[in-house]
């Protein structure tokens, strides 16, 4: 066949014709330093508990947490986030275990900072892993999650984690004013170097199911729609972000990630702070379930998902897929 020439054509394919050229013009780059690996922790020694709803993810005792954290850190992961899975017997209505200086999570923080001092340790500030009712705050006599009562509890929790050596506190509760009261409490106690990563736009999402199973928490009544955000709203996220920035947050978070790429982009545009995103348990579990059915390849799909989140403007990403992604990056 005689080649046909179309000299008037614009040919963007020239920038895609080889691996080398594609790398030269690549607009978004994902690296290990952009990733934060969440860990679920339990009491005991040598304990690995597979999480059925999250293939490849396990609850770990502290000795194994240390080993896994060391491996990931050596591969370039700068930070991990801790989530305790507690026995029902130590939970109560107020979540008082959250400010126990000898709690599982405080022991985990001290261990990691002693053995891996260059690893950044992040801990959630919220009561749901510690309460019998499963809500993120204290429930009052009316059966409502009481904003101002909860602020006092969150402050005690934040100080407890800071004094254990936590690098970044991440209030995920969505109570009004929590960034301000936590920042003031930290500063008043001399913990001025401890950072606050505010879950600024945490939506009342259907994607959290596997996470709640992983930390052994279950709502005993109602839902979280009176404090977590309506998935239909984006201007509300901007308002929350500007408030958190004013109140002393050092970084902001959008959760979940893929369904809210527009929110990530908007907050990056409207604020002056680093913006992160949480690629949550449901997002991870969907991909892994499809992989197990043979419908798609998990590793490449996870990588594409994280690149999309980064392209939207996320400076860092919480992801359960860090080990799979590191295999590609390395």
DSSP structure string for 86-150 = --GGG-BSS-GGGG-TTSHHHHHHHHHHHH-TTSEEEEEE-STTTBSS--SS-B-TTSSB-HHHH
With a CB cutoff of 8 Å and minimum separation 6, the contacts of 15 are 21, 22, 25
Can you read off the two tokens belonging to residue 158? 């934040």
| pLDDT value at residue 132 | 95
* Each residue's pLDDT tens digit, 72-130: 999 999 999 999 999 999 999 999 999 999 999 999 999 999 999 999 999 999 999 99
Query: In 3D, which of 262, 311, 268, 283 has the Cα closest to residue 30?
Result: 311
Nearest-5° angle of CA 289, CA 128, CA 317?
A: 50
Given a contact cutoff of 8 angstroms between Cβ atoms, the answer to whether 264 and 277 are in contact is yes
Q: Is pLDDT of 5 > 90?
A: no
Which residue ranges make up each domain of the chain?
Answer: 29-329
Q: Which residues are catalytic?
A: 202, 255
29-329 domain in CATH 3.20.20.70?
yes
| Nearest CA-CA partner of 298 in 328, 268, 267, 324 | 324
Q: What pLDDT is recorded for position 34?
A: 97
Measured in degrees and rounded to the nearest 5, phi and psi for residue 169 equal -100, 135
Question: What digits encode the pLDDT tens for the residues 143-170?
Answer: 999 999 999 999 999 999 999 999 999 9
For the segment 170-181, the average pLDDT, to the nearest whole number, is 97
pLDDT in the model for residue 6: 83
Q: Provide the whole-model pTM.
A: 0.95
């Amino acid at each position: 066949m005689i080649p046909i020439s179309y000299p008037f054509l614009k040919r963007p394919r020239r920038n895609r014709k080889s691996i080398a050229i594609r790398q030269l013009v690549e607009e978004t780059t994902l690296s290990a330093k952009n990733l934060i690996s969440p860990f679920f922790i339990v009491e005991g020694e040598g304990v690995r508990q597979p999480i059925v709803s999250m293939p490849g993810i396990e609850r770990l005792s502290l000795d194994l947490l240390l080993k896994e954290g060391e491996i990931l850190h050596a591969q370039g992961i700068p930070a991990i986030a801790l989530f305790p899975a507690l026995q029902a017997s130590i939970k109560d209505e107020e979540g008082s275990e959250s400010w126990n200086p000898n709690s599982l999570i405080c022991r985990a923080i001290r261990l990691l900072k002693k053995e891996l001092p260059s690893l950044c340790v992040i801990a959630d500030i919220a009561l749901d892993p510690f309460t019998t009712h499963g809500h993120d705050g204290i429930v009052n006599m009316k059966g409502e999650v009481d904003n101002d009562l909860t602020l006092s509890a969150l402050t005690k929790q934040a100080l407890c984690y800071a004094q254990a050596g936590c690098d970044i506190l991440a209030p995920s509760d969505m109570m009004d004013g929590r960034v301000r009261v936590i920042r003031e409490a930290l500063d008043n106690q001399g913990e001025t170097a401890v950072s606050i990563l505010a879950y600024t736009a945490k939506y009342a999402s259907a994607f959290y199911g596997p996470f709640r199973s992983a930390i052994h928490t279950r709502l005993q009544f109602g839902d979280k729609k009176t404090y977590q955000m309506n998935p239909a709203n984006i201007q509300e996220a901007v308002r929350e972000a500007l408030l958190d920035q004013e109140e002393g947050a050092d970084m902001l978070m959008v959760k979940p990630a893929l369904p809210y790429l527009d929110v990530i982009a908007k907050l990056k545009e409207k604020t002056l702070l680093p913006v992160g995103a949480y690629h949550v348990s449901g997002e991870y579990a969907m991909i892994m379930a499809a992989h197990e059915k043979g419908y798609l390849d998990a590793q490449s799909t996870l990588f594409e998902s994280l690149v999309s989140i980064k392209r939207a403007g996320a400076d860092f990403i919480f992801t359960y897929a860090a080990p799979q992604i590191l295999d590609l990056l390395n």
